[in-house]
Copies of this chain bind each other. A is one copy, B any other.
Protein backbone atom coordinates (compact mmCIF):
# COMPACT_ATOMS: atom_id res chain seq x y z
CA UNK A 1 0.00 0.00 0.00
CA UNK A 2 2.95 2.25 0.64
CA UNK A 3 4.05 3.92 -2.58
CA UNK A 4 4.21 7.35 -4.17
CA UNK A 5 0.66 7.32 -5.48
CA UNK A 6 -2.23 8.84 -3.58
CA UNK A 7 -5.36 6.75 -3.92
CA UNK A 8 -8.55 8.71 -3.46
CA UNK A 9 -12.21 7.89 -3.47
CA UNK A 10 -14.29 10.67 -4.99
CA UNK A 11 -17.99 11.32 -4.91
CA UNK A 12 -19.10 10.90 -8.56
CA UNK A 13 -22.83 11.31 -8.10
CA UNK A 14 -25.08 12.15 -5.20
CA UNK A 15 -26.80 8.96 -4.06
CA UNK A 16 -30.56 8.84 -4.31
CA UNK A 17 -31.74 6.58 -1.55
CA UNK A 18 -29.22 3.87 -0.77
CA UNK A 19 -25.74 4.70 -2.15
CA UNK A 20 -24.46 2.51 -5.00
CA UNK A 21 -20.83 1.64 -5.66
CA UNK A 22 -21.09 3.61 -8.91
CA UNK A 23 -21.66 6.78 -6.86
CA UNK A 24 -17.99 6.47 -5.88
CA UNK A 25 -14.81 6.39 -7.99
CA UNK A 26 -11.29 5.33 -7.07
CA UNK A 27 -8.64 7.55 -8.65
CA UNK A 28 -4.87 7.83 -8.35
CA UNK A 29 -3.10 11.17 -8.05
CA UNK A 30 0.24 12.47 -6.93
CA UNK A 31 0.94 12.69 -3.25
CA UNK A 32 0.47 16.36 -2.36
CA UNK A 33 3.12 18.63 -0.89
CA UNK A 34 2.44 20.26 2.49
CA UNK A 35 2.47 24.05 2.47
CA UNK A 36 3.37 26.48 5.22
CA UNK A 37 2.13 25.18 8.60
CA UNK A 38 0.81 22.03 7.00
CA UNK A 39 1.43 18.37 7.59
CA UNK A 40 1.49 15.49 5.09
CA UNK A 41 0.43 12.17 6.54
CA UNK A 42 -0.19 8.62 5.38
CA UNK A 43 -3.65 7.34 6.26
CA UNK A 44 -3.61 4.18 8.34
CA UNK A 45 -7.24 3.89 9.48
CA UNK A 46 -10.35 5.54 8.07
CA UNK A 47 -13.51 5.70 10.17
CA UNK A 48 -16.84 4.91 8.53
CA UNK A 49 -19.86 6.23 10.39
CA UNK A 50 -23.56 6.44 9.51
CA UNK A 51 -23.67 10.24 9.90
CA UNK A 52 -21.47 10.55 6.80
CA UNK A 53 -24.47 9.71 4.64
CA UNK A 54 -25.65 13.29 5.25
CA UNK A 55 -22.55 14.78 3.67
CA UNK A 56 -23.17 12.89 0.41
CA UNK A 57 -26.42 14.79 -0.11
CA UNK A 58 -26.71 18.42 -1.10
CA UNK A 59 -29.32 18.90 1.62
CA UNK A 60 -28.54 20.99 4.61
CA UNK A 61 -27.35 18.80 7.46
CA UNK A 62 -24.89 19.21 10.29
CA UNK A 63 -22.33 17.49 8.05
CA UNK A 64 -21.13 19.89 5.35
CA UNK A 65 -21.88 18.42 1.90
CA UNK A 66 -19.03 16.84 -0.06
CA UNK A 67 -18.60 18.50 -3.46
CA UNK A 68 -18.99 16.28 -6.50
CA UNK A 69 -15.64 14.91 -7.78
CA UNK A 70 -14.09 15.67 -4.41
CA UNK A 71 -12.58 13.33 -1.86
CA UNK A 72 -15.13 12.05 0.60
CA UNK A 73 -14.69 13.40 4.12
CA UNK A 74 -13.95 11.25 7.13
CA UNK A 75 -11.94 10.92 10.30
CA UNK A 76 -8.57 9.16 10.07
CA UNK A 77 -5.59 8.01 12.03
CA UNK A 78 -2.43 8.65 10.05
CA UNK A 79 1.34 8.85 10.38
CA UNK A 80 3.22 12.03 9.63
CA UNK A 81 5.46 11.84 6.52
CA UNK A 82 6.52 15.46 6.30
CA UNK A 83 5.72 18.31 8.65
CA UNK A 84 5.91 22.07 8.15
CA UNK A 85 4.35 22.60 11.55
CA UNK A 86 6.52 22.85 14.67
CA UNK A 87 4.30 20.59 16.78
CA UNK A 88 4.56 17.56 14.50
CA UNK A 89 7.45 15.45 13.33
CA UNK A 90 7.83 12.71 10.79
CA UNK A 91 6.72 9.44 12.36
CA UNK A 92 4.10 10.97 14.68
CA UNK A 93 0.67 9.40 14.74
CA UNK A 94 -2.17 11.87 14.40
CA UNK A 95 -5.93 11.96 14.53
CA UNK A 96 -7.33 14.10 11.72
CA UNK A 97 -9.63 14.15 8.76
CA UNK A 98 -7.67 12.99 5.71
CA UNK A 99 -10.91 11.58 4.36
CA UNK A 100 -11.14 8.70 1.91
CA UNK A 101 -7.57 8.85 0.57
CA UNK A 102 -4.25 7.25 1.35
CA UNK A 103 -2.36 10.51 1.92
CA UNK A 104 -3.60 13.82 3.16
CA UNK A 105 -2.35 17.33 3.79
CA UNK A 106 -3.83 19.26 6.70
CA UNK A 107 -3.09 22.34 8.74
CA UNK A 108 -1.30 21.37 11.92
CA UNK A 109 -4.01 22.98 14.03
CA UNK A 110 -6.57 20.44 12.82
CA UNK A 111 -4.53 17.44 13.99
CA UNK A 112 -4.19 15.84 17.39
CA UNK A 113 -1.22 13.68 18.30
CA UNK A 114 -1.96 10.11 19.44
CA UNK A 115 0.20 8.23 21.92
CA UNK A 116 0.40 4.66 20.55
CA UNK A 117 1.44 3.28 23.94
CA UNK A 118 -1.93 4.12 25.48
CA UNK A 119 -4.25 2.11 23.26
CA UNK A 120 -4.41 0.69 19.73
CA UNK A 121 -4.25 3.53 17.21
CA UNK A 122 -7.65 2.73 15.76
CA UNK A 123 -9.39 3.23 19.11
CA UNK A 124 -9.09 6.99 18.53
CA UNK A 125 -11.69 6.57 15.80
CA UNK A 126 -14.03 4.60 18.02
CA UNK A 127 -14.28 3.93 21.70
CA UNK A 128 -11.74 6.67 22.56
CA UNK A 129 -12.90 9.01 19.81
CA UNK A 130 -15.98 10.65 18.45
CA UNK A 131 -18.28 7.60 18.71
CA UNK A 132 -17.17 6.98 22.28
CA UNK A 133 -17.70 10.58 23.33
CA UNK A 134 -21.10 10.46 21.65
CA UNK A 135 -22.04 7.40 23.70
CA UNK A 136 -20.69 8.91 26.90
CA UNK A 137 -22.16 12.40 26.69
CA UNK A 138 -25.51 11.52 25.13
CA UNK A 139 -26.13 8.80 27.69
CA UNK A 140 -24.92 10.65 30.76
CA UNK A 141 -25.74 14.28 29.95
CA UNK A 142 -29.02 13.86 28.04
CA UNK A 143 -30.19 10.48 29.31
CA UNK A 144 -29.09 11.04 32.93
CA UNK A 145 -29.63 7.38 33.84
CA UNK A 146 -30.19 6.60 37.50
CA UNK A 147 -29.36 3.27 39.15
CA UNK A 148 -32.24 0.85 38.71
CA UNK A 149 -33.70 2.61 35.70
CA UNK A 150 -34.23 0.90 32.37
CA UNK A 151 -32.19 2.11 29.40
CA UNK A 152 -33.00 1.03 25.83
CA UNK A 153 -30.46 1.42 23.05
CA UNK A 154 -30.99 0.97 19.32
CA UNK A 155 -28.21 -0.11 16.94
CA UNK A 156 -26.83 -1.52 20.17
CA UNK A 157 -23.91 -3.49 18.77
CA UNK A 158 -22.60 -0.52 16.77
CA UNK A 159 -19.74 1.83 17.54
CA UNK A 160 -21.87 4.13 19.65
CA UNK A 161 -24.56 1.82 20.99
CA UNK A 162 -22.23 -0.83 22.38
CA UNK A 163 -20.33 1.76 24.41
CA UNK A 164 -23.49 3.51 25.60
CA UNK A 165 -25.00 0.24 26.78
CA UNK A 166 -21.95 -0.79 28.74
CA UNK A 167 -21.74 2.62 30.41
CA UNK A 168 -25.41 2.30 31.37
CA UNK A 169 -24.59 -1.08 32.95
CA UNK A 170 -21.68 0.48 34.83
CA UNK A 171 -24.15 3.11 36.11
CA UNK A 172 -26.39 0.41 37.55
CA UNK A 173 -29.19 0.36 34.99
CA UNK A 174 -31.17 -2.43 33.37
CA UNK A 175 -30.03 -2.27 29.73
CA UNK A 176 -31.92 -3.51 26.69
CA UNK A 177 -30.31 -3.46 23.26
CA UNK A 178 -32.06 -3.58 19.89
CA UNK A 179 -29.99 -5.10 17.07
CA UNK A 180 -30.44 -6.62 13.62
CA UNK A 181 -29.31 -10.23 14.00
CA UNK A 182 -29.24 -13.10 16.47
CA UNK A 183 -25.47 -13.02 16.40
CA UNK A 184 -25.44 -9.38 17.48
CA UNK A 185 -28.07 -10.09 20.12
CA UNK A 186 -25.96 -12.87 21.58
CA UNK A 187 -22.94 -10.59 21.48
CA UNK A 188 -24.46 -7.71 23.43
CA UNK A 189 -25.94 -10.01 26.08
CA UNK A 190 -23.19 -12.59 26.45
CA UNK A 191 -20.11 -10.49 25.69
CA UNK A 192 -21.11 -6.97 26.69
CA UNK A 193 -23.41 -7.85 29.59
CA UNK A 194 -26.65 -6.23 28.43
CA UNK A 195 -29.63 -7.55 30.39
CA UNK A 196 -31.63 -8.30 27.26
CA UNK A 197 -31.38 -8.04 23.51
CA UNK A 198 -34.00 -7.84 20.78
CA UNK A 199 -33.51 -8.84 17.15
CA UNK A 200 -35.74 -6.33 15.41
CA UNK A 201 -35.70 -8.36 12.21
CA UNK A 202 -37.20 -11.52 13.69
CA UNK A 203 -38.99 -10.34 16.85
CA UNK A 204 -42.14 -8.27 17.09
CA UNK A 205 -40.86 -5.12 18.71
CA UNK A 206 -43.73 -4.06 20.97
CA UNK A 207 -44.15 -7.31 22.94
CA UNK A 208 -40.42 -7.97 22.89
CA UNK A 209 -39.80 -4.59 24.51
CA UNK A 210 -42.55 -5.19 27.06
CA UNK A 211 -40.88 -8.42 28.05
CA UNK A 212 -37.35 -6.98 28.07
CA UNK A 213 -38.34 -3.78 29.88
CA UNK A 214 -41.14 -4.91 32.21
CA UNK A 215 -40.88 -1.75 34.34
CA UNK A 216 -41.12 0.59 31.35
CA UNK A 217 -38.41 2.66 29.73
CA UNK A 218 -36.70 5.57 31.49
CA UNK A 219 -33.96 6.39 28.99
CA UNK A 220 -33.88 5.72 25.27
CA UNK A 221 -30.62 6.16 23.41
CA UNK A 222 -31.87 6.51 19.86
CA UNK A 223 -29.51 5.82 16.98
CA UNK A 224 -32.21 5.01 14.47
CA UNK A 225 -35.47 6.99 14.83
CA UNK A 226 -38.26 5.39 12.77
CA UNK A 227 -40.42 2.55 14.02
CA UNK A 228 -38.15 1.80 16.98
CA UNK A 229 -38.58 5.32 18.36
CA UNK A 230 -42.33 5.11 17.81
CA UNK A 231 -42.57 1.79 19.66
CA UNK A 232 -40.35 2.91 22.52
CA UNK A 233 -42.45 6.05 23.01
CA UNK A 234 -45.46 3.87 23.75
CA UNK A 235 -43.61 2.28 26.67
CA UNK A 236 -41.83 5.21 28.30
CA UNK A 237 -42.16 6.03 31.97
CA UNK A 238 -42.99 9.37 33.58
CA UNK A 239 -40.15 11.79 33.05
CA UNK A 240 -38.35 9.65 30.46
CA UNK A 241 -35.40 11.12 28.57
CA UNK A 242 -34.75 10.35 24.92
CA UNK A 243 -31.42 11.26 23.36
CA UNK A 244 -31.87 11.56 19.61
CA UNK A 245 -28.37 10.67 18.48
CA UNK A 246 -28.78 9.20 15.01
CA UNK A 247 -31.32 8.56 12.30
CA UNK A 248 -29.92 5.40 10.76
CA UNK A 249 -33.37 4.23 9.70
CA UNK A 250 -33.84 7.25 7.47
CA UNK A 251 -30.43 8.40 6.26
CA UNK A 252 -31.18 6.84 2.88
CA UNK A 253 -34.74 8.18 2.68
CA UNK A 254 -35.37 10.34 -0.38
CA UNK A 255 -37.79 12.51 1.56
CA UNK A 256 -38.23 12.78 5.32
CA UNK A 257 -40.72 10.15 6.51
CA UNK A 258 -43.32 11.15 9.10
CA UNK A 259 -42.25 10.84 12.71
CA UNK A 260 -43.89 9.36 15.78
CA UNK A 261 -47.03 10.76 17.31
CA UNK A 262 -45.83 12.77 20.30
CA UNK A 263 -48.78 12.30 22.65
CA UNK A 264 -46.72 10.01 24.93
CA UNK A 265 -44.25 12.88 25.49
CA UNK A 266 -47.08 14.99 26.85
CA UNK A 267 -48.74 12.27 28.92
CA UNK A 268 -45.41 11.15 30.38
CA UNK A 269 -43.84 14.62 30.58
CA UNK A 270 -40.88 13.20 28.76
CA UNK A 271 -38.27 14.90 26.62
CA UNK A 272 -36.54 14.27 23.33
CA UNK A 273 -33.30 16.14 22.74
CA UNK A 274 -31.20 16.19 19.62
CA UNK A 275 -27.55 15.40 20.31
CA UNK A 276 -24.44 16.41 18.40
CA UNK A 277 -21.05 15.43 19.75
CA UNK A 278 -19.49 18.72 18.69
CA UNK A 279 -21.40 20.41 21.50
CA UNK A 280 -19.76 18.20 24.13
CA UNK A 281 -16.05 18.88 23.70
CA UNK A 282 -16.06 20.17 27.28
CA UNK A 283 -16.64 16.56 28.34
CA UNK A 284 -13.61 15.21 26.48
CA UNK A 285 -11.32 14.96 29.50
CA UNK A 286 -13.95 13.31 31.70
CA UNK A 287 -14.72 10.93 28.87
CA UNK A 288 -11.11 9.94 28.20
CA UNK A 289 -10.42 9.44 31.89
CA UNK A 290 -13.53 7.32 32.52
CA UNK A 291 -13.56 5.26 29.34
CA UNK A 292 -9.81 4.57 29.39
CA UNK A 293 -10.22 3.39 32.94
CA UNK A 294 -13.13 1.12 32.11
CA UNK A 295 -11.22 -0.35 29.16
CA UNK A 296 -8.23 -1.07 31.36
CA UNK A 297 -10.33 -2.61 34.12
CA UNK A 298 -12.16 -4.77 31.60
CA UNK A 299 -15.56 -3.25 32.50
CA UNK A 300 -15.89 -1.99 28.94
CA UNK A 301 -15.27 -4.13 25.88
CA UNK A 302 -14.79 -2.93 22.35
CA UNK A 303 -15.26 -4.71 19.06
CA UNK A 304 -14.04 -3.46 15.71
CA UNK A 305 -15.06 -4.54 12.24
CA UNK A 306 -11.96 -3.90 10.13
CA UNK A 307 -12.20 -3.77 6.34
CA UNK A 308 -8.90 -4.05 4.47
CA UNK A 309 -8.09 -1.61 1.69
CA UNK A 310 -9.39 1.83 0.76
CA UNK A 311 -10.96 0.44 -2.41
CA UNK A 312 -13.42 -1.49 -0.23
CA UNK A 313 -14.65 1.60 1.62
CA UNK A 314 -17.69 2.25 -0.60
CA UNK A 315 -19.02 -1.29 -0.25
CA UNK A 316 -18.38 -1.26 3.48
CA UNK A 317 -20.15 2.08 3.85
CA UNK A 318 -23.19 0.83 1.94
CA UNK A 319 -23.25 -2.20 4.23
CA UNK A 320 -22.96 0.03 7.31
CA UNK A 321 -26.18 1.81 6.41
CA UNK A 322 -27.81 -1.62 6.05
CA UNK A 323 -26.47 -2.68 9.46
CA UNK A 324 -24.18 -5.30 7.99
CA UNK A 325 -21.16 -4.29 10.06
CA UNK A 326 -20.57 -5.95 13.41
CA UNK A 327 -18.79 -3.56 15.74
CA UNK A 328 -17.15 -0.25 14.96
CA UNK A 329 -16.44 -0.14 11.21
CA UNK A 330 -13.00 1.06 10.16
CA UNK A 331 -11.03 0.72 6.96
CA UNK A 332 -7.39 -0.22 7.21
CA UNK A 333 -5.90 1.90 4.46
CA UNK A 334 -2.20 1.14 5.01
CA UNK A 335 0.10 -0.71 7.38
CA UNK A 336 -0.12 0.03 11.08
CA UNK A 337 3.45 -0.06 12.36
CA UNK A 338 2.20 -0.40 15.95
CA UNK A 339 0.05 -3.45 15.24
CA UNK A 340 0.91 -6.74 16.95
CA UNK A 341 2.96 -4.84 19.49
CA UNK A 342 -0.08 -4.58 21.74
CA UNK A 343 -2.06 -7.61 22.77
CA UNK A 344 -5.35 -5.80 22.34
CA UNK A 345 -4.88 -4.90 18.68
CA UNK A 346 -7.99 -6.11 16.89
CA UNK A 347 -6.62 -7.72 13.72
Contact = CB atoms under 8 A, between A and B. Distances in A.
A60 B268 CA distance: 11
Interface in A264-317: 264-276, 279
Contacts of A259: 258-262
B269 A271 contact: no
B271 A274 contact: yes
Given A256-B261, A260-B259, A267 B225 contact: no
A276 B266 contact: yes
B258 A258 contact: yes
Contact of A276 (B256, B261, B269, B276): B269
Interface string A213-239: 000000000000100010000000000
Nearest to A240: B274
B265 A273 contact: yes
A274 B279 contact: no
Q: For chain A, give the interface size range.
A: 20 to 34
A258 B260 contact: yes
Contact of A263 (B256, B262, B265, B267): B256
A156 to B, nearest CB: 19
A139 interface: no
B225 A262 contact: yes
A244 interface: yes
Contacts of A244: 262, 265-266
Contact of A62 (B262, B267, B272): B267
A336 interface: no
A106 interface: no
A256 B264 CA distance: 10
B263 A269 contact: no
Nearest to A271: B273
Tell which of A246, A259, A279 has the most Cβ of chain B within 10 Å: A259
Most chain B CB within a 10 A radius of its CB, from A246, A257, A264, A269: A269
A273 B270 contact: yes
A190 to B, nearest CB: 32
Nearest to A270: B274
A263 B279 contact: no
A260 B257 CA distance: 8
Contact of A247 (B61, B263, B270): B263
Nearest to A239: B279
Given A62-B266, A269-B276, A271-B272, 17 more contacts: A60-B267, A62-B267, A225-B263, A244-B262, A245-B266, A246-B266, A247-B266, A250-B261, A258-B261, A259-B259, A262-B274, A266-B275, A268-B274, A269-B279, A270-B273, A271-B273, A272-B273
18 contacts: A229-B262, A244-B262, A247-B266, A256-B261, A257-B261, A258-B261, A259-B261, A259-B262, A260-B262, A262-B274, A264-B274, A265-B272, A265-B273, A265-B274, A267-B274, A269-B279, A271-B271, A272-B273
